[in-house]
Amino acid sequence: MAVHREWAGRLGTDAKGNRVILLNDAGARLVEATADVALSNISPPEPSPELLSLCPSGDDGANKELMLVQVTRFTCGSFAVGTTAHHQVADGLGRCSFMIAWGKAARGVAIDPIPVENIHTPDPSDNVATHTVHFSPEMVSKLKSKASTGVRRPYSSLQCVAAHLWRCITKARGLDGNTLTKFKIAVNGRPRMRNPRVPEDYAGNVVLWAQPATTVKDLLGNPLQYAVELISREVARIDDRYFRSFIDFVSSDAVEKEGLVPAETLVRCPDVFVSNLKGIPMYDLDFGTGKPFLFTRSHPPWEGYVFIMPPFCSDGSMDVQVCLFSRAMDIFKECAATRWKWLTHSYKLFLC
């Protein structure tokens, strides 16, 4: 916390009324818990409300900590580390940088100095289900080959898988053909911003959204390549100039003049939101007890969200968590199964 002081601070306002992080060293919340069972007895194969018991609750907002951690120890000797963090402080990569540094400190390794999601959790919704999908290297290769036919430069594996999911989710929802659907995918600005570059371990939000859009009938009536090209074109547009233009916007008083407020709904239909966690090195985390067997979300109750998870092994496969209303989930699985054999992972140990 002495190095990553942002997580020990509190949200507040400065003299001008701007929203800031107060570096007052008020501290984070650490909860230690024990369970009279082995980890294998309670770990479900994919995100579930059951996993919320392993994460600290920030519902009461008593001290409004920006980082809450719960360590749960099991009779088998394993332990789970659950975290709840305020998304206004940092994005996924920034949060991971703190966790990696914490692991180094636990092992007595020097921590590199750093350059100078909301705590409130809604009640789990019984109407939203989460399905974990495993794309094998062969499946990813087939999707990429199918989408890149006739183009000079192959599309990325991520964009091909994302486009495939957009189509399957849209079909499962049963939307009217004239409905406009947007595919909002998070774009990391760290590798895009230049002069000066943003360090990989920068602890803040450096993510903007690419938002390709089309009608349902065009999305489903055209080949996969149509959706991939829409995504590729919009992602390419979010470049260094775009990020710096956004920084100029939020640094001015334009935000207050526009009256922008956070969205109140957790239902994204007819749109799809994709958070790409694939490049976040959570499997490098080590508290001196070895690396985690699994990194996963606990229970994201947000309809229309897709999380591309960090891979356990670097074989080119992808694990994806899809959140949809229960009534659409069976259709989603059936739609996907008619094209590829989808596999679901089951793990004995996990880190949330």
Q: Report the pLDDT value the prediction gives residue 84, as an integer from 0 to 100.
A: 87
Contact yes or no for 9/24 (Cβ under 8 A): yes
Q: Report the pLDDT value the prediction gives residue 307, as an integer from 0 to 100.
A: 92
Q: Which residues of 11-36 are buried (b: 16+ CB within 10 A; e: fewer)?
A: eeeeeeeeeebeeeeeebbeeeeebe
346 contacts: CB under 8 Å, gap ≥ 6: 45
Q: Report the pLDDT value the prediction gives residue 259, as an integer from 0 to 100.
A: 56
Superfamily (CATH) of domain 128-337: Chloramphenicol acetyltransferase-like domain (3.30.559.10)
Same topology, domains 5-106 and 128-337? Answer is yes
Q: Report the pLDDT value the prediction gives residue 260, as an integer from 0 to 100.
A: 54
pLDDT tens digit at each of 352 positions of the chain: 778 888 888 888 877 777 888 888 888 899 999 999 998 887 666 788 878 888 888 765 545 898 899 999 999 999 899 888 888 888 888 888 888 888 888 888 888 766 553 334 444 445 888 998 888 899 999 999 999 999 989 999 999 999 999 999 999 999 999 999 999 999 999 889 988 888 888 877 889 999 999 999 999 999 999 999 999 999 999 999 999 998 888 787 766 665 555 554 556 789 999 998 888 888 888 989 888 888 888 877 789 999 998 887 788 889 999 999 999 998 898 876 645 443 333 222 333 3
Between the CA of residue 259 and those of 118, 206, 256, what are the distances in Å? 20, 22, 5
* Catalytic sites, residue numbers: 87, 286
Q: Report the pLDDT value the prediction gives residue 145, as an integer from 0 to 100.
A: 93
* Structure tokens belonging to residue 287: 């508290």
Domain boundaries, given as residue ranges, for the chain: 5-106, 128-337
5-106 is a CATH 1.10.150.120 domain: no
CA distance 5 to 83: 17
* Structure tokens belonging to residue 335: 């739609």
